[in-house]
Copies of this chain bind each other. A is one copy, B any other.
């Protein structure tokens, strides 16, 4: 029997766009047939510490949305103080997939895996979709611009 591989992906997933779906589908494919995709959704506090401002949707909402995506087998909230090693020990992935904009995560996980001699492959997933609307920030920029336009027009 071929063992089902566990693939781990992580992110903020603030305002969902097709780039998220393609990232998750592509990540799951890396685990081969019948892979299990587990997604760690970043905590509000982590985002705030990292970016200086929190996400638009609270973590419980973001978790609910990611859990409802078809490729996702299981979604969990991360630790408030980022703990990659703890997460790897808890979720025991065979593969960790990182997005095109997660070089920082990639570097840290690659180092951990090497230092700890963990049997985990780290894979970078390429960027998908049209420029501008394939990032939550791009979508937010557009909303803010349109909102101002709408307000002025009224």
CB distance from A32 to the nearest CB of B (A): 21
* Smallest beta-carbon distance A72→chain B, Å: 8
Q: How far in angstroms is the closest Cβ of chain B from A54?
A: 9
Q: Is the CB of B144 within 8 A of A21?
A: no
Min CB gap A25→B, angstroms: 8
- Inside 8 A of A58's CB, which chain B residues have their CB? 133
Q: Check B148 against A144 for contact (C-beta < 8 Å).
A: yes
A73 CB, nearest partner CB in chain B, Å: 11
Tell me, in angstroms, the Cα distance from A121 to B35 when the chains sit together. 39
A92 proximity list for chain B (CB < 8 A): none
A85 contacts the other chain (CB 8 A): no
A65 near B143 with CB under 8 A, answer no
What is the minimal beta-carbon distance from A133 to any residue of chain B, in angstroms?
Answer: 6
Q: Is A78 part of the binding interface, using a Cβ–Cβ cutoff of 8 Å?
A: no
Contacts A16-B16, A139-B56; A21 near B65 (Cβ below 8 A) = yes
Nearest chain B CB to A84's CB is how many angstroms away?
27
A65-B16 contact given A53-B150, A57-B133, CB 8 Å threshold: yes
Q: Which A residues contact B (CB, under 8 angstroms)?
A: 15-18, 21, 53, 56-58, 61, 64-65, 68-71, 133, 139-144, 146-150
